[in-house]
Amino acid sequence: MKEIKVQDAVGQILCHDVTEIVRGVVKDAKFRKGHIITAEDIPVLLKLGKENIFVWENDESKLHENDAAEILRALCQGENLSASDVKEGKIELKATCDGVFHVDAEKLNEINSVDEICIATVQNNIPVRKNKSVAGMRVIPLVIDKKKLENVQKIAENALPLMKIAPYKKFKVGLVVTGSEIFHKRIKDDFTPVIEAKLKTFGLKVDERRISDDSKEMTREKIAEMLDLGCEMILCTGGMSVDPDDRTPAAIKSTGADIVTYGVPVLPGAMFMLAYKGDVPIMGLPGCVMFCSKTVFDMILPRIITGERLTRENFTKMGVGGLL
């Protein structure tokens, strides 16, 4: 690449887009990379404020920003992601379905530590809608040393691709509502409508519903009944605090389920519980899920219904950003 005066550029190959900006009217490339400059282009370029222009000069050690962006795209683009055309050195990735966005954050941080590399994404592990832009990538200069892109490729080689959208799956959902006051019909069950609304967002519904008193034995029986009915996800509401008569955690544990966590670094929702009985996730939902607009349940539910099996480590990392 070399810089020359616009008046001397006739016949030369433009090596970068030249953008025209008219406030409220247009912001787009007037001339594209690869355009062969003509005499008629000179006054237009001058009007765009270009006294000098960069044209191609063969250099095998360098990559143009557009070519570099394509390399970054190839490293990043995984399942259920579509890529835009490269424009002014940048490529965007969009979701091709509803689901949860995943990125290898550790590898991405390492790649972004390479000088002149820029890859930006939405937050990790969040639900996104179809056509949502989730990532953008480019290099900072107009041309970049090839060795930097080779370094980036080496960093990513064991983690390809870096990004994907995990689509939602269909689940048969069982709901166990606990509380003697509801079991004996002393008060109305206000928890079920909240759960139904949250499930509806993801195309799910409560397929089976049972009510239990506060005893560990009855709650365990209702969970077992849900398992026998083929429920693929079981939600238990209420009885999740540390009061002596809050026995839902003990009931879940007594089913023989593997406990992932009871208690998470998220507020509201610290008393949340996740366990697995085989492949079936069983969640204990604290009372805050009923009256707070966003809790740990809203963070966890989308990931569960993509089929992701969460671990204790997943929860310990939720403290940063966990004050909802």
Taking only the tens place, the pLDDT of each residue in 171-186 is 999 999 998 899 898 9
Q: 173-316: what fold?
A: Molybdenum Cofactor Biosythetic Enzyme; Chain A (3.40.980)
Q: Residue 33 pLDDT > 90, yes or no?
A: no
Contact 123, 148 (CB under 8 A): no
Nearest to 106 by CA among 156, 68, 148, 157: 156
- The two structure tokens encoding residue 278: 């085989």
The domain spans of the chain are: 2-55, 62-167, 173-316
| Contact status, residue 271 vs residue 286, Cβ threshold 8 Å | yes
pLDDT recorded at residue 194? 96
308 and 165 Cβ atoms separated by less than 8 Å: no
**Phi, psi at residue 241, to the nearest 5°?**
-85, -170
Q: Which of 209, 199, 204 is nearest to 174 (CA)?
A: 209
Q: What Rg, from alpha-carbon coordinates, does the chain have?
A: 28
Which helix (H) or strand (E) element contains residue 26? strand 26-31
pLDDT of 64: 86
CATH code for the part of the protein at 62-167: 3.90.1150
**Of 236, 212, 250, nearest in space to 290 by CA:** 236
Region of residue 176 (left: phi > 0; alpha: psi -120 to 50; beta: else)? beta
The reported pTM is: 0.85
Strands 173-178 and 206-212, how do they pair? parallel
CA–CA separation, 219 vs 230, rounded Å?
17
**pLDDT of 70-109, one tens digit each?**
999 999 999 999 999 998 889 999 999 999 999 999 999 9
Q: Answer yes or no: is pLDDT of 245 > 70.
A: no
d(CA 112, CA 26): 31
Q: What is the pLDDT of residues 190-234, one digit of tens each?
A: 999 999 999 999 999 999 999 999 889 999 999 999 999 999 999
DSSP 3-state of 119: strand
CATH T-level assignment (fold) for domain 2-55: Molybdopterin biosynthesis moea protein, domain 2 (3.90.105)
Q: Are 178 and 238 in contact (CB under 8 A)?
A: yes
Given this model, what pLDDT does residue 244 score? Answer: 61
Exposed e or buried b per residue across 253-264, where buried means at least 16 C-beta atoms within 10 angstroms of its C-beta: bebebeebbbeb
